[in-house]
Copies of this chain bind each other. A is one copy, B any other.
């Protein structure tokens, strides 16, 4: 965890939430000095026997060795204990054959120390790309991590995975599944920089639900598409993005083994809420962010086109700088819709800032006043709503403004 000199103005006012103990999960974190000394940079989560594991990962063609290793393992059945180890400071990406060797060394050390099958040990690394990971600094600490495991340690873990995040990110929900109370708790790190280097999104979510690996994997895949995959800070996709979901099965419930089980719907409501909460926290902590931007697109041909139009707006430097400048520059939104490559018809398009109708019938709305638009743009949270007027496709994505702070973080330093 890096020293925090400036907390995002968009950080949740309530601070880090009270996360419940998830039976079957314990956490530890400590300083391993992977890149810098004096900061907690490794976390370990231990998962009890019978835990089902699911995950989604970056689709980057240059993804890191840890991601490749997780992808090999995530589809395997396994009933013993499991573990998640995360380091910051070095992403172990583009480190050639040495990269996979480092992952082998770390996962083997965790497996041997904790008595876990190596195929059940998952790792993530975030930080500088292209430098050898000093894996021996991590393996030297695994016995200490193991000894420090604590079922109440999740907030410590949330802090340990921070890099230049300005606040720790956690979220929790409980759901009722046929009388059983099931807890879901997750942590995430967002668009922080280590050296500075890569903005990497990592999230780890834990639940005591009793749910099979296959069903769990379908849940995370579907909900990821509507949550973490709908966040953009700068449109740059990390080589290390990872979301892992672990279900310990300790809740007092009959197991869910079929995606058609009616309880899946209730479970997914809770999971979706946790993932969306964490996703928005990541946008709130975007590098240099002073405004949260929610882009809602309706009326597209289908959900896919709606998502691409929303991302075209959310990634547009001209839209993001206009929001930074509190400029109700709706012409830039028209531009971003137009460049998305998706179907749009000028005379059917409607644009709102929050509830203020800005444009309709191919022109500025007669009810719109520049003063109302300018007043709205002073808010911390800006909703840009676009209706394409074509069909029923919808999407919502979250982003932040593009400010001098982003340039300062990414250009004014040398890594």
Contact = CB atoms under 8 A, between A and B. Distances in A.
B322 A62 contact: no
Contacts of A1: none
Contact of A324 (B238, B340, B343, B407): B407
A414 B94 contact: no
Contact of A234 (B61, B317, B325, B415): B317
A330 interface: yes
A60 interface: yes
B404 A321 contact: no
A406 interface: yes
Contacts of A339: 60, 236-237
Interface stretch (A137-145, A261-269, A344-352): A344-352
Contacts of A408: 404
A93 interface: yes
A331 B128 contact: yes
Contacts of A97: 362
Contacts of A315: 235
A374 B198 CA distance: 19
A289 to B, nearest CB: 13
A236 B326 CA distance: 19
Interface string A384-415: 00000000000000000111101110111111
Nearest to A342: B61
A322 B411 contact: yes
Interface string A79-107: 00000000000010111111100000000
Contact of A236 (B129, B318, B343, B414): B318
Contacts of A69: none
Total identical chains: 2
A224 interface: no
A237 B235 CA distance: 16
B60 A94 contact: no
A406 B335 contact: no
A359 interface: yes
Contacts of A402: 317, 407, 411
A148 interface: no
A311 to B, nearest CB: 12
Contacts of A130: 330-331, 334, 359, 363-364
A96 B363 contact: yes
Given A94-B331, A363-B98, A411-B321, A338 B63 contact: yes
A327 interface: yes
A210 B71 CA distance: 61
A263 B325 CA distance: 52
A243 to B, nearest CB: 17
A380 interface: no
B410 A318 contact: yes
Interface in A242-256: none
Contacts of A363: 94-96, 98, 130
Nearest to A407: B404
Contacts of A234: 317-318
B411 A61 contact: no
A325 B197 CA distance: 12
A52 interface: no
A411 to B, nearest CB: 4
Nearest to A345: B61
A222 to B, nearest CB: 21
Given A362-B94, A403-B407, A412 B335 contact: no
A336 interface: yes
Given A129-B334, A237-B335, A322-B410, 17 more contacts: A61-B338, A61-B344, A62-B334, A93-B334, A94-B364, A95-B362, A95-B363, A96-B361, A98-B363, A198-B332, A317-B317, A321-B407, A321-B411, A374-B414, A402-B407, A403-B407, A404-B408
